[in-house]
Amino acid sequence: MTLIVSIGGNKHGKTDPYIKKDGVELDLILLIRTILAATKEIAFRVSQGELSGVLGSTLDENIQGEVQKKLDVLANQLLKDMLSDDDSVRSIASEEEEFVVPVHSTAPYIVAFDPLDGSSNIDINGQIGTIFTIYRARDDVAANSPEQFAQLGTEQVCAGYVLYGPSTYLMMTTGGPTRGYTLDLTHGGYLLTVPEVTLSQDSMEFSANMANYRYWQEGVQHYFDQVLYSSEDYKDVTMRYNGAMVGDINRILIKGGVFHYPSDARAGNENGKIRLLYEANPLAMLIEKAGGKATAHGKRIMALPPTSLHQRVPVVMGSNNLVDEFDKAIFSNSNV
């Protein structure tokens, strides 16, 4: 059964008409609220900027080999602490944690998150966001096993992000349509503001870090040569690139378009940079539930069997037509 979660009513103050509560799913509603409670605290710290004393970098690197920002560490700790107090959480995985964090050994759910996607934007007051995903826990492996998270993206029971922008914006699906919620600072609740997000097919906008062009495979370079220089179909093309995937995907969900992070020749980027568990899969679910497409190597991202906790995948996601055109151009055997 598809659960549509009420977080605090809609923008007219009425109760979210999509509430469906029953015993089993009520755990999920309460778990989502735990995650959102942490995001409200993160949103406050982010909005305080320099005043919060958490800008700038630490002296440490995370498992990804990236210098940790103070706000990365704070956001990660906030989410870990609040989820560790939630009886429905069996295991936690995070971009900032090398290993799975076991919590309650018989709890029904596991949670993975990127606590602060787009950290390079923190010190420039740019968009950043928290990406989260929830799966049912596996009883055939231990709570501290990475195998807990070796589940197809199609098994996600909830996927979402909170974008810390001019407004604090929650985009989430629990298996039904992707829905948008805006944090109402007057009473601290996320109010339903877009009951059903529908991805436009009319956009000619792409999002990619073109500075990586020289490292892309020849086929990908050729595709972008067509887009930028020769194809009549793309004469009205525009480009936007945020440096934080969560911000790019939010724009694409609202306006349409396509996001690319291809694999490239740099060491460690053989499979691109985007992590399957806590970036590609949750964002792919939001895109698909809004009517879009999300592929890696020409195949559906959410159907990719995971191989490791921090596994990377090359990603193309957004409006069906733009994803299909790329996949057709690059992968003769694609599933398009």
User: Is 192 annotated to bind ligand?
Assistant: no
DSSP letter, residue 123: G
Residue 10 beta carbon to ligand P6P: minimum distance, rounded to whole angstroms: 30
Residue selected from 137, 158, 244, 316 as contacting ligand P6P according to rule CB under 6 A: 244
> Rounded to whole angstroms, what are the CA distances from 93 to 99, 102, 192, 215, 277?
7, 9, 28, 30, 9
Closer CB to ligand P6P, residue 83 or residue 245?
A: 245
Task: Tell me: does residue 245 bind ligand P6P (CB under 6 A).
Answer: yes
Count the helices and strands in the chain (H runs, E runs).
6, 18
Residue selected from 16, 25, 96, 117 as contacting ligand P6P according to rule CB under 6 A: 117
User: Is 119 annotated to bind ligand?
Assistant: yes
User: Is 322 annotated to bind ligand?
Assistant: no
* Piece of 134-142, 218-226, 239-247, 294-302 that binds ligand P6P (CB under 6 A): 239-247
Cα Rg of the chain (Å, integer): 19
Residue selected from 8, 102, 115, 118 as contacting ligand P6P according to rule CB under 6 A: 118
> Rounded to whole angstroms, what are the CA distances from 308 to 134, 146, 296, 300?
17, 7, 16, 18
Residue 245 beta carbon to ligand P6P: minimum distance, rounded to whole angstroms: 3
Closer CB to ligand P6P, residue 157 or residue 163?
A: 163
The answer to whether the CB of 181 falls within 8 A of the CB of 163 is no
Closer CB to ligand P6P, residue 47 or residue 209?
A: 209
Q: Which structure tokens are listed for 133?
A: 């995903």
What does the alpha-carbon distance between residue 97 and residue 79 come to, in Å, rounded to a whole number? 12
Q: Which structure tokens are listed for 203?
A: 């956009």
What does the alpha-carbon distance between residue 275 and residue 64 come to, in Å, rounded to a whole number? 10
Closer CB to ligand P6P, residue 21 or residue 214?
A: 214
In the sheet that 89-94 helps form, which strands lie side by side, from edge to edge? 101-102, 89-94, 109-117, 128-136, 158-164, 168-173, 179-184, 189-194
User: Is 117 annotated to bind ligand?
Assistant: yes
Task: Tell me: does residue 221 bind ligand P6P (CB under 6 A).
Answer: no
Residue 244 beta carbon to ligand P6P: minimum distance, rounded to whole angstroms: 5
User: Is 283 annotated to bind ligand?
Assistant: no
User: Is 116 annotated to bind ligand?
Assistant: yes
Closer CB to ligand P6P, residue 118 or residue 298?
A: 118
Residue selected from 49, 189, 243, 306 as contacting ligand P6P according to rule CB under 6 A: 243
What does the alpha-carbon distance between residue 323 and residue 336 come to, in Å, rounded to a whole number? 9
Site for ligand P6P in 253-312 (CB under 6 A): 273
Closer CB to ligand P6P, residue 6 or residue 207?
A: 207
Total residues contacting ligand P6P by CB under 6 A comes to: 7
Q: What is the DSSP string of 80-99?
A: HHHHHT-TTEEEEEETT-SS
> Looking at this protein, which amino acid is placed at residue 284?
A
* Piece of 37-45, 243-251, 313-321, 327-335 that binds ligand P6P (CB under 6 A): 243-251
List, as residue ranges, the binding site for substrate.
117-120, 209, 241, 273
The binding site for ligand P6P (CB under 6 A) comprises 117-118, 209, 243-245, 273
